[in-house]
Structure 1
């Protein structure tokens, strides 16, 4: 028989991250149209998502997650004379996440909290000759609750 009554299982998760109301994204060196200085130079994207493969042990889950997102230049916000802004920005991210499922008796859903760390590969949103080929890795992190 089993040595432990611990509940364990593998899981796969897919997600779609298209934005309806995006957060403001500040990009230094981009001039916006007069009157739209506080608007984001990048518009929402419906091309975003990811997936994860993980392992669940009782109330703890651990997974490896991959994400992709793409933002496009908002031509209604960015000044027409601004030639240094690329048409899009893309990011690939890989993170390792840990979640804690908060088991509450007689509750039909299980709330959770989680954190993740990893790396992101981002293309530079500029057409300026001095930086247009800059691409690189950076530190990525996230916190989740649900």
Structure 2
């Protein structure tokens, strides 16, 4: 399984690409439910969607240095992570494979999930991502 170093200003952590991609898919799903999003995020969202599709095995990079360039942007993104964590908290401890596989758009590039998945895999990723951003800002 491919892993990528998720970084922001030379700090970061290693994560399985499939966990990163599905976590991003949940983040994007939650962003669609928000009443309003800043203009800059509409473009960044398309960049994140591309990352979530499996095109960058072992080289997932969020380009935070280019996008999270102000306190408002950082606060928005942290809030989005928090809302995604709340969304996942409402789910059962095991997320059905059928739900996870709805995010898989290209089975040649992305892993097909063969069993239900512990939601803590995604929660833990999002919590690490949140801490990475907070510690940078």
Query: How would you bin the TM-score normalised by the shorter chain?
Result: under 0.3
TM-score (normalised: structure 1)? 0.23
TM-score (normalised: structure 2)? 0.24
More helix per residue: 2
